[in-house]
Structure 1
Amino acid sequence: MSLVGNMMSPDMIVKDCRGKEFYAFGTHRIFDQRARKLQLYRTWITFLGIITPLFVGGVVLSFGTESKVLPWVITVVGIIGLVQLVLSAFSIVSRWDEKYEYALDSSRGNTDLYNRFKFLADNAPADLEVQYKDAIRENEAREFKDLGQGITEKEKRFANREALKYYRKPCSICSITPTNSKPSKCDGCGNF
């Protein structure tokens, strides 16, 4: 529901900013985690693509082309190379590069929203309503984009746990305040 057109008291705006700050932090953590995971996968694919021919070349330079080890090395490296090719093809079809770039963009955007809502809630500037409306419009646009990225229920629980841990608040379901990122058995702040 859009709050831009509704009249709200400064106290209500500050309270809503605190809620938006909480959710922006959690959403940042979802996309930060996605970006880190995709970066790791992309790094391994690149590493395998570079190390495979380098390793064969290093064996040939060290032991020569007549070495009895070379056929074994070529077989093992060939299998690794095939795995790397399959992973590379999968990463292209799955659009890992696009997903990585989007995750970075969303992480940055949600961090900016977190900072804006935190500033508004902490400082309640004279033009609070104007800045709030601008932040709400930006938040709605970011939320609309993020919804197209298929955020799972597990990711939502992860985001909730991360935000509860950061803000040192208890979960509304299990009443426990998370102190680490390790998932619990709770359906509100765990099971991810």
Structure 2
Amino acid sequence: MAPGTDEYRRKCWDAALHAYGTGYIFQKRAERLKRKTDVLTWIGFVVPLLIGATVGTFGQYKYWNVVLAVATAVAALQLAMSLWSLVKRWTEELSYSSASATVNESLASRFAALGEDPPGLPTLRTQFEKLSIEDTARRDRDNERGVTEKERRMGMRAGLRKYQRPCAACHQVPTTMEPSGCGVCGQF
């Protein structure tokens, strides 16, 4: 027997929950990467500026050797971190994570709108299939980015919280993003 309107509505809400959770994962990744790249950029500018300001202000400062040693250590650390950011492709990952968060939130809202106010069954089926194809393509790309189990649990908690649904394991509706002991919506 072919699925009816209620079955498609349930599928829409499930897909909305999962897309929202995935968007939340990539939003959190983007926030972490943004902080890291901002700190790296700030250090890259502040060290040379402070050295220049110190030289310009004090000229032959009696503790110049100490200032230079500290600045050299910070610059070496900044250089190592810059190299690490290039190897780990922080800017590329930041760009991808931001885009994925946006696309997944859009998918979630479109699935939710379809589930909330469905058209007739033939149109519902067609629209659901189109969204599902887009969702599957996005999910495939996102899965290539190494989403961890901890992140999946965090995303599940975010989706359950957003749509006020109980967890299948602990049967609780999350009210916060504080981790719980649940193996499905906690432990992150």
Name 1:116's counterpart in structure 2.
110
| Aligned residue pairs, count | 186
Aligned counterparts, 1:161-176, within 5 A: 161-176=157-172
Match of 1:29 among 13, 24, 28: 24
CA shift at 1:7, angstroms?
A: 4.3
Moved more, 72-81 or 179-188: 179-188
Q: Measure the CA separation in 1 of the matches of 2:150 and 2:112.
A: 26
User: What's the Cα RMSD here?
Assistant: 1.4
Query: In percent, how many aligned pairs have the same letter?
Result: 34
- What is the CA deviation profile of residues 74-105 of structure 1, one whole-angstrom value per residue up to 9, with x for unaligned ones? 11111111111000000101111111111111
Letter in 2 for 1:51: V
CA shift at 1:32, angstroms?
A: 0.3
Aligned counterparts, 1:39-50, within 5 A: 39-50=34-45
Using structure 1 for the length normalisation, give the TM-score: 0.92
Q: Measure the CA separation in 1 of the matches of 2:133 and 2:70.
A: 55
Q: Measure the CA separation in 2 of the matches of 1:67 and 1:40.
A: 34
Q: Measure the CA separation in 1 of the matches of 2:167 and 2:5.
A: 27
Name 1:100's counterpart in structure 2.
94
Name 1:131's counterpart in structure 2.
127
- Mark the runs of 5 or more structure 2 residues left unpaired by the alignment: none
Name 1:159's counterpart in structure 2.
155
Match of 1:88 among 67, 71, 82: 82
Name 2:72's counterpart in structure 1.
78
Letter in 2 for 1:25: Y
Using structure 2 for the length normalisation, give the TM-score: 0.94
Structure 2 residue 68 is the aligned partner of structure 1 residue 57:
no
Q: Measure the CA separation in 1 of the matches of 2:164 and 2:174.
A: 7
Q: Measure the CA separation in 2 of the matches of 1:168 and 1:92.
A: 40
Letter in 2 for 1:42: T
Letter in 1 for 2:171: S
Runs of 4 or more consecutive aligned structure 1 residues displaced over 6 Å after TM superposition: none
